[in-house]
């Protein structure tokens, strides 16, 4: 059985790690380079770096910061934010990333997913999806969750799998930062629909929430930010808990 992955997420704005609730009211959470080093040392399985304002500000990801973080970690490192072409993917990978995360750009131009997968391999492509539950329908949002689309979640993730995505990173905007648990029903439906790994994001607040997302939510990985940044849960303690609960994790 494949082990379940624990993934800290660094949401970056103006060169600093930030965290909010439901994508709003951001507060400073520390230096991304120091946090990346700490999480790698603590046994995180992977690291995600999201330049959350790059698309809104119509600029490229902060390459020098990506480079600095890449030098500090020896675990798979995913970078997202403002990546809108295969050329930019190549630049991100040259600066130390192992994978790229694309979101708004593939909504705007879905064929980009296939272009990236063909040139760099599906294992390199994580399609991030921010969605909000609106009147019993999950609606995909772009530009850091600020712009709703008319795209329905499950149709979209299946389309991205067919296009060549290697993983789906699903963030529930309704659950983000609330610490009330992941969107396990949506995640389970997604995991049953797809043949690629699903990373759960949005709502982690306790160790039990991770157990729930790996069992009831059927997720392959659990991503969280504030509980790690503000030292509410330690990664070694979380993995020990999951191991005792018979969840397969890398200790």
- DSSP H or E segment with residue 66: helix 63-72
User: How many Å apart are CA 129 and CA 148, to the nearest integer?
Assistant: 12
Q: Is residue 100 a part of any domain in this protein?
A: yes
Q: Is residue 251 a part of any domain in this protein?
A: no
Share of the chain above pLDDT 90, in %: 71
Q: Is residue 98 a part of any domain in this protein?
A: yes
Closest CA to 144 of 248, 54, 229: 54
Q: Is residue 136 a part of any domain in this protein?
A: yes
Q: Is residue 48 a part of any domain in this protein?
A: yes
Number of domains observed in the structure of the chain: 1
Burial 126-135 (b: 16+ CB within 10 A, else e): bbbbbbbbee
Q: Is residue 249 a part of any domain in this protein?
A: no
The residues that bridge with 28 in the sheet, in sequence order, are 18
Q: Is residue 168 a part of any domain in this protein?
A: yes
pLDDT at res. 61: 55
User: How many Å apart are CA 114 and CA 41, to the nearest integer?
Assistant: 35
User: How many Å apart are CA 171 and CA 128, to the nearest integer?
Assistant: 8
Prediction pTM value: 0.91
Catalytic residues: 11, 130
**Lowest-pLDDT range of 39-43, 52-56, 135-139:** 52-56
User: How many Å apart are CA 190 and CA 205, to the nearest integer?
Assistant: 22
Give the tens place of pLDDT for each residue, 197-220: 999 999 999 999 999 999 999 999
Residue 215: count of CB within 10 angstroms of its CB: 15
C-alpha distances out from residue 216 to 42, 168, 212, Å? 26, 18, 5
Q: Is residue 250 a part of any domain in this protein?
A: no
Give SS3 for 100.
strand
Q: Give the HSE-up count for residue 23: Cα atoms under 13 Å, Cβ half-sphere.
A: 18
Give the tens place of pLDDT for each residue, 23-50: 444 555 568 888 899 999 999 999 999 8
Q: Which residue has the tokens 């120091």?
A: 34
CATH of the domain at 101: 3.20.20.70
User: How many Å apart are CA 217 and CA 90, to the nearest integer?
Assistant: 33
Residue 104 is part of which domain span? 5-244
């Amino acid at each position: 059985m494949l082990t379940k992955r624990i993934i800290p997420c660094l949401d970056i704005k103006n060169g600093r790690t930030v965290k909010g609730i439901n994508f709003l009211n951001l507060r400073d959470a520390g230096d991304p380079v120091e946090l990346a080093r700490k999480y790698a040392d603590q046994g995180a399985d992977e690291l995600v770096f999201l330049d959350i304002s790059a698309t809104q500000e119509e600029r490229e990801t902060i390459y020098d910061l990506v480079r600095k973080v890449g030098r500090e970690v020896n675990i798979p490192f995913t970078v997202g934010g403002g990546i809108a072409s295969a050329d930019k993917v190549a630049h991100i990978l040259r600066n130390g990333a192992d994978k790229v995360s694309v979101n708004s750009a593939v909504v705007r131009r879905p064929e980009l997913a296939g272009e990236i997968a063909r040139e760099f391999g599906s294992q390199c492509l994580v399609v991030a999806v921010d969605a909000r539950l609106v009147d019993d329908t999950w609606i995909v949002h772009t530009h850091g969750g600020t712009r709703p689309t008319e795209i329905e979640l499950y149709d979209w993730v299946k389309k991205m799998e067919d296009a060549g995505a290697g993983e789906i990173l699903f963030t529930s905007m309704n659950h983000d930062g609330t610490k009330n648990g992941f969107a396990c029903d949506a995640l389970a439906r997604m995991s049953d629909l797809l043949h690629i790994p699903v990373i759960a994001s949005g709502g982690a607040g306790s160790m039990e929430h991770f157990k729930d997302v790996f069992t009831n939510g059927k997720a392959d990985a659990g991503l969280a930010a504030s509980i790690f940044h503000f030292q509410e849960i330690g990664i070694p303690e979380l993995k020990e808990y999951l191991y005792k609960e018979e969840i397969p994790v890398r200790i």
